[in-house]
Amino acid sequence: MKYIFSDEYGTPSYKGIDRDENKVFFLSAVIVDPDDYSEFILGLTDFKVRWFKHKAEFCLHFKEISRKERIYRFLNNEHDEVSFHKDLLELISSLKFSFLGALINKIEILHHYKQNIHPYLASIQLIAGKLLEFPEREFRWIFESRRSFEDRLYADSLENLTIMGVTTTHLDWLKDHRFGDLKFVTQFRRKEERIAGLEVADILAFAIGSSLRKEILEKPLWSFASRILEVIKKEKSLTGHLYVAI
């Protein structure tokens, strides 16, 4: 049973969609073999101890890294910032995992569909659709816990997928009864539990999601994020493609 760790970039809500940061939603899926996960944890822990010493017991959060505030204030020193991101890139390259993302352009959804499609449920559907191409049939899908309502919604969507072939009836044209052959065990873990797979899922969701958003809106890319995107595309892509999209 492989592990899937997921985190998002952007909000699933359609409110405030006039603001650039709310125009797209991106869900990351970091897929790890259980036999590789101990080394995965050790690699991330070593990185945190190397950079934060006795303060290392916290979750890496790429949005906060980009702001260079609080525990990341030292990144305001250009030399330290370059060294930190070089080390982070090498860490990501060294960890054993596969990656797939789902990109939802909410502007396009509003233009082409009669109803607002929930970006998180659509992302789960798209990622799971690619899992059908591989022999593995059982997955433990791990999300960061939000509110109890959201946790229940996402767990129910995976149950719907295996029973009805679709996460939500708003996506009926993607229905596929082969999902009945898959088994998903869902888990929701709190940020303070410091789950290594979720930390990496957060880094990749923000780095890749923000880069794709800026490409769509023709905005300048942040080099440290776009380098992560390129490494994942070249070294970690599950299917040969970085993401699936609606």
- Does residue 114 carry a pLDDT above 80? no
Cα separation of 246 and 110, whole Å?
12
Quote the pLDDT of residue 71: 93
Question: What is the dihedral sign for C-alpha 141, 99, 213, 112?
Answer: negative
Quote the pLDDT of residue 117: 93
Give the residue-averaged pLDDT of 55-82.
93
Taken in order of first residue, the domains within the chain and their CATH numbers are 2-36+97-221+229-245 (3.30.420.10)
Quote the pLDDT of residue 96: 98
19-23, 84-88, 219-223: least confident range: 19-23
Backbone conformation region of residue 225, classed left if phi is above 0, alpha if psi is from -120 to 50, else beta:
alpha
Cα separation of 127 and 193, whole Å?
25
Give the residue-averaged pLDDT of 122-138.
96
Cα separation of 198 and 168, whole Å?
25
- Does residue 21 carry a pLDDT above 90? no
Phi, psi of 233 (to 5 degrees): -60, -40
Cα separation of 226 and 182, whole Å?
33
In the chain, the DSSP E strands lie at 2-9, 24-32, 98-105, 138-144, 183-189, 243-245
Q: Give the tens place of pLDDT for each residue, 200-245.
A: 999 999 999 999 999 998 899 999 999 999 999 999 999 999 999 9
Give the pLDDT band of residue 24 (cuts 50, 70, 90): very high
The DSSP secondary-structure symbol of 201 reads: H
pTM: 0.96
Q: Give the tens place of pLDDT for each residue, 133-186.
A: 999 999 999 999 988 899 999 999 999 999 999 999 999 999 999 999 999 999
- Does residue 57 carry a pLDDT above 90? no
In contact, 1 and 139? CB cutoff 8 Å:
yes
Q: What three-state secondary structure class fits 212?
A: helix
